[in-house]
Amino acid sequence: MSQSSKLAVDAMGGDHAPEAIIAGLDIAAERQPQAFFLVFGDAERLQPLLAASKRLTGRYELRHCAEIITGGMKPTVGLRLRDSSMRRAIDAVLAGEAGGVVSAGNTGALLALSKIVLKTLNGIDRPAMAATAPSAKGDVVMLDLGLNVVYDARNLVEFALMGTIFARIVLGLPSPSFGLLNIGSEEGKGDETLRSAANTLRESPIAGQFHGFVEGHDIAAGTVDVVVTDGFTGNVALKTGEGALKLVGDLLRRVFNGGPLAKMGYVFARGALKRLKETLDPRRYNGAVLLGLNGVVVKSHGGTDAEGFAHAVDVALDMVAHDFNSRIADALAAMDRAILSDEPVTNSHG
């Protein structure tokens, strides 16, 4: 079986592990008929769950792990647990047994282990965390979402390259537009780091996709397909957006529970509200990807259910199947040639 169809799974990470994890694999197995899962965790707890799934019959290999990295554990402690389900799953990617790994476990530990074990791709200074979010025009990719508080112009250029390729794979966009998140859209706005990154991108092989600077409101408006920023700003923007969506949901519930007429109005609006709920369902956007590592690493939200975890699995398998890392290497090579030589700027990279 090819590496592109194999995925390593940390079955013990997350608030509802291992039940939600195995139930998520059951859903993913139906949607991904070629997938095979290396499942890492407590065999005594996992075997009955796996055996109960007909869809997973013949589609997994269970590997017992004696240790678990808990949600509240410090990353430095997790690094020392060599037989944890998270560590063993990442090791499987390093060994070439799987093309990627999915975990709903401790975020700090997953980031630290992935960077130490897998290391970054040649030419990538810092990995970035990317995920999708809803907008008025469809889904939008955002990165970095928390990995890099310290950054420079080169990092932002790398994030832009990785983000556009991620959007091609996950959103199916042939030529996604992207912008640098700034305090204004005018060219003179922002600090020297942002302006330097913008200048480099205007002379890069993806210059034709570069919209320029975008502001916070452009994220929800869908002005661009990919929003590029540093980890501090990106994480604040992400959490703000999540809070706003939760507020909208709470307000709608209050409105339609306001009395008999309001409840009657809900009956008439039920179909539209159902579609709205489906569009804004956070499970559709579950699965943040650590871009720029020697292997695909997907972080599922720790509190997600089976459907949400299945979506994270779908994202990971798409990244592996489309050979994401090779496409990053090609894009970096084209970028370096454009910067170091006088060859004309093109937008031919697919």
Give the three-class secondary structure for 324.
helix
* Structural domain boundaries in the chain: 1-124+292-322, 130-282
Asked whether the CA dihedral 173, 199, 233, 222 is positive or negative, the reply is: negative
Per-residue pLDDT of the chain (350 residues; tens, 9 = 90+): 555 589 999 999 999 999 999 999 999 999 999 999 999 999 999 999 999 999 999 999 999 999 999 999 999 999 999 999 999 999 999 999 999 999 999 999 999 999 999 999 888 888 999 998 888 898 999 999 988 888 999 999 999 999 999 999 888 899 999 999 999 988 888 899 999 999 999 988 899 999 999 999 999 999 999 999 999 999 999 889 888 888 888 888 888 888 888 777 877 787 877 777 767 677 777 778 999 999 999 999 998 999 999 999 999 998 898 888 888 888 888 777 665 554 444 444 44
| pLDDT score recorded for residue 268 | 76
Q: Any bridge partners for residue 129, and if so which?
A: 290
Closest CA to 311 of 24, 35, 20: 24
For 232, left (φ over 0), alpha (ψ -120 to 50), or beta?
alpha
How far is Cα 321 from Cα 142, in angstroms, rounded to an integer? 22
Tell me what pLDDT residue 67 has: 95
Measured between alpha carbons, how far is 265 from 256 in angstroms, rounded to an integer?
7
Q: DSSP string of 50-108?
A: HHT-STTTTSEEEEE-SB---TTS-HHHHTT-TTBHHHHHHHHHHTTS-SEEEE-S-HH
Residue 267, pLDDT score: 79
pLDDT of 134 reads 87
H or E element in which residue 47 lies: helix 43-51
Fold of domain 130-282: Isopropylmalate Dehydrogenase (3.40.718)
Q: How many CA atoms lie within 13 A of 111 on its CB side?
A: 15
Question: Does residue 124 contact residue 40 with C-beta atoms inside 8 Å?
Answer: no
pLDDT at 342: 46
Query: Can you give the pTM of this predicted structure?
Result: 0.86
295 torsion bin: left (phi>0), alpha (psi -120 to 50), beta (else): left
Distance CA 160, CA 334 (A): 14
Q: In the prediction, which pLDDT does 15 show?
A: 92
DSSP state of 5: G
Please state which architecture CATH assigns to domain 1-124+292-322. 3-Layer(aba) Sandwich (3.40)
**Does the fold of domain 130-282 match that of domain 1-124+292-322?**
yes
By C-alpha distance, which of 40, 35, 39 is closest to 6?
35
